[in-house]
Structures are given as structure tokens and as C-alpha cells.
A and B are shown apart, each in its own frame.
Chain A
């Protein structure tokens, strides 16, 4: 089982609609969860972080966390063509050597259709 799993997509969403991206993780002791956006040919950039169960909203973005189900999601409201990118779920945890480690999923490629 992969540590962080995402549906690779592609996910196509009409402009103005809600895009829903999902992620599951395997390490129950993980405490910090992140969504990174990566445009084609560019490096990842952090767009959302969430640490406790429930919802966290930032502008058009809402991150949702359910630690019992080991599930993280990202909702993008009023999707814009500029939201077309790969969205990477990342989970913070502790490696076998006791070091903090950020593990990424494979990413979901999102396309917003004008």
C-alpha cells in the first residue's frame, strides 16, 4: 500500500463548478497535511495546510480532514482555467529514523474546461 494515494486523473471540471480532489494516507500518526499545486514544468507550491479534523477555508479553496478515515480532500469553488494544474497531496510524518518526512502522492491532474 502506498503511503499517500491519489487518483491520478485527469479530472475535468467545467469553469465555475466545484472541483473535488481526494487523498488517503496510511500512517495513522500523521499530524500535518498539505495540498501543493504544480503547474506543468514548474515546481510545487503550497496552497493549503490542515492539521485538525474538519474544514479549513481559504478563499475559493477548502481543505477537509478526517483522521479517523485517514482522508484528506481539497475543494475548489468557482473553478477557473488558471486552476488547471496537478494537485499533490502531502502528508507529514516521522520516518523509521525518527526524522520528519513529507511524503507526496502521485498527484491529480485537474483541467478546467472553459
Chain B
């Protein structure tokens, strides 16, 4: 399978616990995105990497959220001290970006669904 893979697919945790999600993008893609999606809403941008550099973080991303892409390949998204409002689907996507306003397609993984009790 050469698509974007995410792990775990489902995570149930208690409020206050830390959780970490992993994303493995398509191997030749240099851009990696994290989005969050709640029921009835479209994906909301969280953060974006070009290679290993985190170029942008949304204002939606509080200090409890941190993302890394240490070698420009896989990425992790960690949420510390989870809150019930963090319950959502966390989507990872990758693309082969060539230039600003590149029109490359985003390839999404199947997502990691987080439920905070």
C-alpha cells in the first residue's frame, strides 16, 4: 500500500491523558499536513510541514498540541492533557509541492479518531 497511513485509527482516552498520532505520507511527497475534522464540519487546518520544517501552525493549535516531522518522512501529532473538546478525527495529508500556490492534490490518510471521555 503506497498511500498515506495513520496510526492508530481509533483512540479512546480519559481526559488529562496524552495521546500521540503517527502519519506516514506517500514516500516522495515533501509536504505534510494535519487537519482536524468534527462531525458535520469540513477539515480544519492545524499545521503544515515542508520536508522537516514546520512552516505554519493554525491559531486553533493550542500549546497542548505539538507536531514533528524529524527526518522529513513520518510525522507525529501529540496532544497533551487531552480535553473533551479535542474529540475529533485527525487527518493527515501529503502532497508533492513544487512552488507557492502549487496546485498539487492532497492525499489524505484514513484518519485517527480520538474520543476523550
Contact = CB atoms under 8 A, between A and B. Distances in A.
Q: Do A and B bind each other?
A: yes
Given A92-B101, A94-B101, A101 B56 contact: yes
Nearest to A4: B42
Contacts, number: 62
Interface string A1-19: 0001010100000000000
A88 B55 contact: no
Interface stretch (A65-73, A75-83, A102-110): A102-110
A1 B108 CA distance: 27
Interface residues of A, number: 30
A4 B106 CA distance: 17
A43 B113 CA distance: 11
Contact of A97 (B40, B45, B55, B110): B55
Contacts of A103: 45
A49 B29 CA distance: 19
A43 B111 contact: yes
